[in-house]
Amino acid sequence: MKSNNFKNIVGEIKTGEVATIRFFGKITEDSTTLFNNEFDFLENAIRPSLIRVLINSEGGSVLHGMSTYSTIQNSTVPTECIIEGMAASMGSIIWAAGARSFMRDYSILMIHNPFLPSNEEAQTSDLVQAFVKQIKTIYRKRFGMTKERVEAIMDGDTGKDGTFFDAKAAIKAGIIPTENILHTSKQLCEKVKNELTDLENISEIQVLMSRICMEADALDIENKHFESTFPNLNQIQNNHTKMDELKTNSAEYAAVAASLGMKEKYEVKDVMSRISELLGVEDKLAETGKSLKDAQTVIAGKEATIQNLQKDKDTLTASLTVFQTKEADEKKAKIEALVEAAIDNGKIDKTSKAQWVEMAESNYPLAENILSCIPVREQITKEIAADPANIQAARQTTEEKMDEKVQAVVGAKFEFKTLG
């Protein structure tokens, strides 16, 4: 079967023969999903005698990379992983997933501690600590190193992030045996060495290694390197029983499951489900953090609005107090004027002023209406009342009226008459 429809599978793929698949580029959700799907197709649909994984990756997501590690590690088909150009960071973990690990003589291996890209300088989170423990276990078990040696490699020298290895350094460190180095031309090795001299950025290094891989591929096709120089790459024993045991009982896989908080009884699908769940939690956490920040901004705006409204309220309350005081004073003066006018006009006695004031305060229109209905009393000034003539006139008028009444009853000569 041709591999034209696949992005990672290269060459023809046949049942019972070697199948080759690449993992090139950064480790992301998309790249791991595509690789895992094509790998599963090889494993379950094609059933080759061996799946050879060619790696050239600068690394990337630990969570997504672990899904590819598990896919290769738990394959029921024998596997081998080869560093074609560079296996850095999480790329080195994928390289360590194969039943056998190889690297070309010009290849680069880089091992360091994992971190969260968005939180590199902050305190290490529980998730990162779990990844560190998990990755240390994988390196220690895979390369047969002590815990202290693995930690030293991951930490790197002072001021550095991890440790870089070329083929010779990897052999010296005990990471890979001499027979697992795939030799190319001396010219190609020198070219890589010279071009790497001025490069420090890992992305730039991967670009270089990608170009070198293309040149190396052409060299392999011409010299049939895999068939002539390293026939043992195609001679791994296919023990399905052993691979099934490895699928559930390997220390590396157990470390992955343990770091995810899983118990002893679990399956691959359970681990993958847990990883997907963690990815979902990570996304939700980021979304929640953004929502919280937005909510805090809104709350701050509302608090400022409340403070402004409180100031407006205080100002209005002060203005209202002044108005109410003025209104009360004007009402009091109005009542005072109404009652005093009634007293002056003789409508009411001064001794009843308090009662009329109380009535006006309770119901001013009623008090005003009643006082308006009381006629003004005619008053005699002191000068008129003190005039003797006026007093005599008033007295005569009174006596005359009394005589008229008496005469009306008894008559002029005191003759009694009947009252009609």
Could you read off the pLDDT of 259-309 as tens digits, one per residue?
A: 667 766 666 656 666 776 776 676 677 778 778 888 888 898 888 889 888
Q: Name the residue among 26, 2, 74 with its Cα closest to residue 272.
A: 74
pTM above 0.85, yes or no: no
In 168-280, at which residue ranges do the beta strands (DSSP E only) sit? Answer: 181-182
Higher-pLDDT residue of 251 and 67 is 67
- Residue 104 CB partners (closer than 8 Å, separation 6+): 82, 83, 84, 85, 167, 181, 182, 183, 184, 216
Catalytic (active site) residue 112: yes
Confidence class for position 253, pLDDT limits 50, 70, 90: low
Question: What CATH number should be reported for the domain whose range is 9-266?
Answer: 3.90.226.10
Percent of the chain with pLDDT over 90: 28
Confidence class for position 33, pLDDT limits 50, 70, 90: very high
Distances (CA, A) of 58 to 47, 95, 170, 360: 29, 12, 17, 96
Could you read off the pLDDT of 196-224 as tens digits, one per residue?
A: 666 566 666 766 666 666 666 543 433 33
Could you read off the pLDDT of 129-144 as tens digits, one per residue?
A: 888 888 889 998 888 8
DSSP assignments along 99-159, one per residue: SEEEEETT-EEEE-----GGGTTSPPPHHHHHHHHHHHHHHHHHHT--HHHHHHHHH-STT
| 89, 101, 107, 259: the active-site residue | 89
| 31, 101, 112, 259: the active-site residue | 112
Q: What is the mean pLDDT of the chain?
A: 77
pLDDT at 7: 92
Catalytic (active site) residue 89: yes
Domain ranges for the chain, please list them.
9-266
DSSP state of 7: S
Q: Please calculate the CA angle 323-327-332 and round it to the nearest 5 degrees.
A: 150
| CA 279 – CA 281 distance, rounded (Å) | 5
Average pLDDT, integer, range 37-59: 94
Contact 339, 353 (CB under 8 A): yes
Question: Where do the H-state alpha helices sit in 231-352?
Answer: 240-249, 251-259, 268-344
